[in-house]
Copies of this chain bind each other. A is one copy, B any other.
Amino acid sequence: MNGAQALLRTLVDGGVDVCFANPGTSEMHFVAALDAVPRMRAVLSLFEGTVTGAADGYGRIADRPAATLLHLGPGMANGLANLHNARRAHTPIINVIGDHARDHKAFDAPLESDIDALTGWLQGWSRTSAAVEEIGADAASAIAAALTAPGQVANLVLPADVSWSEGGEPGTFTPPPPPVPVDDDRVAQIAEVVRGGESTVLLLGHGTTRERGLVAASRVAAATGVRLFAETFPARIERGAGLPTVERLGYLAEQVQWQLTDVRHLVLVGAKAPVSFFAYPGKPSELVPEGCQVHVLSGLGEDGTGALEHLADEVAAGVSPVLQEPVRPALPSGPLTPQNWTEVIGALLPEGAIVSDEANTSGLMIPMTTAGAPRHDVLTLTGGAIGQGLPVALGAAVAAPDRPVVCLQADGSAMYTVSSLWTMAREGLDVTTVVLNNRAYAILRMELSRVGAEAAGPRAGQLLDLSGPDLDFVSMARGMGVPASRATTAEELADQFAKALAEPGPHLIEAMVPSLL
């Protein structure tokens, strides 16, 4: 068997049976091997940023990696921004980058570049497969690396000749050790802190914002009076009726400072101490209040959920978590506003939904209006690199074909990876995308004043304005095979959203929401 076949067999035997792909000539043997290894499902995307974002969405929902297939350095370059988000999300991904045959590299052909510089940028596991005999073992190592707690992007560079040469052998994937348990002493120390009666916050980070972690944290809070927050951009947070509701730290430094006012103890659970998303003249980057002591219950790679359960056993024996009541907003009426569109979503969000949230400024109210909706998962913009919402929704829908996926998508960000819509149509994925079209980079209007750029005038304003011409997402979606409609009132949005959810396959609704700013 050739190297490509050995690679694919290793992947599917290791539980990696979806590959998001945008191949080129150097990847043709990988593509050909798909017929030899039919257990691998290949999903074509028209741009690598969609490939990598989809792999991120898939991994966050499936809890196991998808593979990608990227074409040489430039293909990898196009995929980097969403790999950056995946890195911040600690999503397991097998990122396969085709390269020229090894003998060909010295000739500096047009597409030649230093792929290691790009994998280095991601700071994770990376290996170039050096021989066809090794590709199976390399792939097995990549799976193990991707799944090693807390999860990561594992880059596997695949020279074309390694792919096409005979002599490949499938490798055997050895599951990595589970996350490191937190020792009793640390739990005991934190138990003392939370029992101390001073103003204390538990900050829930990677891996602890799912049912088990939330329930344990809620028990601790109920028993001791500590408050809970989730990190600003969780990779995945479970929420809705029947689960504890945990507010996220705000995006703006001012929000965080307000949320943490007078806090004396901040306990990190797989989270980092909060810092400002951007720097602002004369404002601090660190957001831990003065005089607040920072404690670590669990670091990345440690079993934060287990530690929370252990802590709950210590300090909250017999105490129940506080669970969200089922409660939905009433269906609003009238022209769309930055608030009422979120009420429509809250009123209609279906049971078991996966929400890919890149609504940005338009989405400020969405956590409130969906808190009591049926149980759902929210996937957020972990790394701040916009253009994540659509591909993450795509990948999530591949991972969970039985669940409805809702993509809440700001207009400006949508344009980065808009061809995701085509793949949703091709694969018949049940994704309902709501594009919030406010015809502006609204967040930058806000930031322009927040950074103190007082001299800004109309020429600056032009750069934040997405009108003239207006983007028409209905036409664009239809051009990519996705049924689409436009809503200008809450009634229209409700009607269109309900219909889209009721019909299988992808839909797009362009919601004409005025800018908050």
Q: Does A334 contact B (CB under 8 A)?
A: no
Complex Cα distance, B278 from A160, in Å, reads: 9
Number of copies: 2
Residue of B nearest to A69 (CB): B463
Q: Identify which of residues 1-51 in chain A touch chain B, using a CB-to-CB cut-off of 8 Å.
A: 21, 23-26, 28-29, 31-36, 38, 42, 44, 46-47, 49
Contact A23 B463, beta carbon cutoff 8 Å: yes
Contact B36 A455, beta carbon cutoff 8 Å: yes
Among A80-88, A142-150, A205-213, the stretch that binds chain B is: A80-88
**Residue from B77, B426, B452 in contact with A468 in the complex, judged by beta carbons closer than 8 Å:** B426
| Size of the chain A interface, CB-CB below 8 angstroms | 102
> Please, what's the 1-or-0 string for A341-373, where 1 marks a CB less than 8 Å from any CB in chain B?
000000000000000000000000000000000
Contact B78 A84, beta carbon cutoff 8 Å: no
Q: Does A182 contact B (CB under 8 A)?
A: no
**Residue from B32, B384, B476 in contact with A479 in the complex, judged by beta carbons closer than 8 Å:** B476
Q: Does A480 contact B (CB under 8 A)?
A: yes
Q: Does A451 contact B (CB under 8 A)?
A: yes
> Please, what's the 1-or-0 string for A86-124, where 1 marks a CB less than 8 Å from any CB in chain B?
001000000000001101100111110110011011010
Q: Identify which of residues 450-507 in chain A touch chain B, using a CB-to-CB cut-off of 8 Å.
A: 450-460, 462-464, 466, 468-476, 478-481
Residue of B nearest to A458 (CB): B35
Q: Does A514 contact B (CB under 8 A)?
A: no
Contact A161 B281, beta carbon cutoff 8 Å: yes
**Residue from B21, B28, B281 in contact with A451 in the complex, judged by beta carbons closer than 8 Å:** B28
Q: Does A383 contact B (CB under 8 A)?
A: yes
Contacts of A448 in B (CB 8 A): 28, 31-32
Q: Identify which of residues 267-290 in chain A touch chain B, using a CB-to-CB cut-off of 8 Å.
A: 272, 275-279, 281, 285-286
Among A59-67, A238-246, A324-332, A415-423, the stretch that binds chain B is: A415-423
**Residue from B31, B412, B447 in contact with A453 in the complex, judged by beta carbons closer than 8 Å:** B31
A292 CB to closest chain B CB (Å) equals 16
Contacts of A451 in B (CB 8 A): 25, 28-29, 160, 164
Complex Cα distance, B474 from A240, in Å, reads: 42
Interface centre among A49, A81, A281, A478 (most CB of B within 10 A): A81
Q: Does A319 contact B (CB under 8 A)?
A: no
Known contacts: A44-B462, A121-B77, A478-B475. The answer to whether A385 contacts B275 by CB under 8 A is no
Contacts of A109 in B (CB 8 A): 275-278, 285, 384
A125 CB to closest chain B CB (Å) equals 16
Complex Cα distance, B83 from A78, in Å, reads: 11
Contacts of A385 in B (CB 8 A): 74, 77, 111
A-B contact pairs, 24 of them (CB 8 A): A23-B444, A25-B443, A28-B453, A29-B451, A31-B463, A32-B456, A34-B463, A35-B456, A35-B458, A36-B455, A38-B459, A73-B121, A74-B80, A74-B383, A77-B80, A101-B279, A111-B277, A117-B120, A422-B471, A426-B468, A472-B480, A472-B481, A475-B475, A479-B479
Q: Which residues of A are in contact with B by a Cβ distance under 8 Å?
A: 21, 23-26, 28-29, 31-36, 38, 42, 44, 46-47, 49, 73-75, 77-78, 80-81, 84, 88, 100-101, 103-104, 107-111, 113-114, 117-118, 120-121, 123, 160-161, 164, 233, 272, 275-279, 281, 285-286, 382-385, 387, 412, 415-416, 418-419, 422, 425-426, 443-444, 447-448, 450-460, 462-464, 466, 468-476, 478-481
Beyond A24-B447, A78-B80, 8 additional contacts (C-beta under 8 Å) are A28-B444, A32-B455, A47-B387, A74-B383, A108-B272, A114-B120, A474-B479, A479-B479
